[in-house]
Amino acid sequence: MSDEQPQKPKRQRKPALTAKVKGERQKPKAESAKPKAISAENKPEAKPKTENQQPEPETLQTANSELQTDTTMEVHHHPQLDHSPKPIKEYLLEGFMIFVAVMMGFIAENIREYIDNNEQVKHLTEQLVQDLKADTVQLNRIYREEDSIYKYNDTLINLLKLPLARADTRRIQKMVANSHSMWLFHPSAGALNAIKSQVHLKQISNSEIISYFALYERHIELIHTAQDINLQYQRTYLDPFITAHFTPANLEASFANNAQPTAQMRNLTQGDLDQLATDMVLMRLITHEMIIDNRQVNADALSLLQYVQKQFHPEE
């Protein structure tokens, strides 16, 4: 073999027909490569957008991207805070302002409570004044009636001291009926009990009204005790004498205002007159005790009334 490289066969040229065809195929490319000049007259008109026309997908995607970017920036934006320490004066000023606000609230609450308590005390003391006036009117009426009963007791005792032959049985029966009577005192304790339940109020606790109440109620208890004793004496002494010696007609006439009993009495002896005279002495004593207690309670009511008017100045 020889060391010489074999020669490559020479490429034969294609006939002219091929060149002609090739030139015809390349012609359109040359024409398409030329940029076409578009005049303003031949430029297609832009279609006007209608209200219901949807934006182009690319435009919508761009707007959403911008909105998302803005939102993200707003969410993750952090202001730059100044964490430098404040001067001590500012801390003192803030503490002082808080203290003043708390104190003003405390003072306002105390003022409101004081006004409410004053209104409540005023209402209660006004009612107490009315109750005390009603009590004094009742006590004065009872005093007049008990004074009359005391006089009936005294007259009956004098009639019973006479001998049976000289006894005025007609008057004895009438005086027995008049002595068989009693007037009960019922105090108006509504406002008094209400004030006692509100003793925590400063206007009441800082006054002497509770001590006046105690004195007033203690003397009322004495009246009630004397009334109970008097009622017991009537049941023990007068009722047996009446049922044993009065006739039915005389009993009815004795307790009637405009009727007079007759002189007739049943099974009456000197011993019966003497025993009733002794019993009537006890009844006269308890009647006198009720009169004394009545005047004491009336004086207590007047003293309490004057103190309430001077201390609380209620409107009458």
Mean pLDDT by 10 residues, the chain (316 residues): 48 48 45 46 49 52 54 53 70 81 80 76 93 97 98 98 96 97 94 89 88 96 97 97 97 92 96 97 97 98 96 84
Integer Cα distance of 189 and 217 in angstroms: 10
Integer Cα distance of 182 and 231 in angstroms: 8
pLDDT of residue 37: 46
pLDDT of residue 11: 53
Per domain, the residue ranges of the chain are: 132-312
Taking each continuous run of H as one helix and of E as one strand, the counts in the chain are 10, 0
pLDDT of residue 217: 96
Indicate the Cα dihedral angle 222, 224, 230, 233, nearest 10°: -100
Integer Cα distance of 210 and 311 in angstroms: 13
pLDDT of residue 35: 46
pLDDT of residue 316: 64
pLDDT of residue 212: 96
DSSP state, residue 259: -
Answer for the pair 111, 103: CB distance below 8 angstroms, yes or no.
no
